[in-house]
Amino acid sequence: MFRLISGIRGPSGFGSASTAEHVTQGIDAANLTAIITGGASGIGLETTRVLASRNAHVIIAARNMEAANQAKQLILKDSENARVDVLKLDLSSLKSVKAFADNFIALNLPLNILINNAGIMFCPYQLSEDGIEIQFATNHLGHFYLTNLLLDKMKETAKCTGVEGRIVNLSSVAHIHPYKRGIRFEKINDKSRYDDKRAYGQSKLANILHANELSRHLKAEGVNITANAVHPGLIMTNLFKHTEMLKFFSSCILWKNVPQGAATTCYVAVHPSLKGVSGKYFSDCNESKPSRMARDEVLAKKLWEFSNKLVNAAQNS
């Protein structure tokens, strides 16, 4: 907490006060293509803007196409040579995830970086169109399926270019506050004991477990792709629309602004010092230690298998 408030730099040379522009200073990403889910607003938009300013070709994956196109125009207004495209993606719909992946692959572009940024937070209970609790469906399962669909393209790109691919899952410190056993595999859709805060924590725990298990798979294959998870920090964005109390408290305390919130994502996505670093969790642009559950390899494997079953069941329904 002291390091967060004080902004003292960690071993990486960066800290909570560092911004996305600061941590990417001097980096030329002209040879990189990145997909950023939720790249049209909040820290996703700042991540898009900064990576585009470092010459990366960025694809905004967004549910709201009007907002995505407005974000693109905002970036082009500041930098007319920026390479930014938009594609529709609704992570709560596995059908939409498949359509997005098909549309991207049809563009015949390389893919170096996948930033699984989009998310929803503290929502009232509801099911996705695939019949899955909405926070788990959107924050975890949609990204799990998207990553699987794009993985061959990332492998192909890494092999052909020799450039390391990077997958970044945005988690949260809220991963320390899931349901009692972490993931409610047998009761994922149980409405009777639904808790919006714990359901969010469950989905953020899943983001870390997914990155860790994916990293183990990639290492076993000898693939030149890393997978890591990050906690961006507490930032006032429209994610807080379902919780007025947190809005009040976060406005009274000195938390991160949006440029600071995007820093850890950008750091993990492009900084050369992290070449070969995989299966880690980062906070304030430094490696951090997540919860015991987040480091549980058995739980991660079980989640991987469970997620595959949910995707397969949805496809066959």
Catalytic residues: 194
- Residue 234, number of CB atoms within 10 A of its CB: 18
Amino acid letter, 280? K
Interatomic CA distance for residues 150 and 105, integer angstroms: 8
Interatomic CA distance for residues 284 and 150, integer angstroms: 28
Q: Are 70 and 144 in contact (CB under 8 A)?
A: no
Q: What is each CA distance from 171 to 24, 233, 282, in whole angstroms?
A: 21, 10, 10
Q: In terms of DSSP bridges, do strands 225-231 and 281-283 run parallel, antiparallel, or are they unpaired?
A: parallel
Interatomic CA distance for residues 64 and 100, integer angstroms: 13
Amino acid letter, 6? S
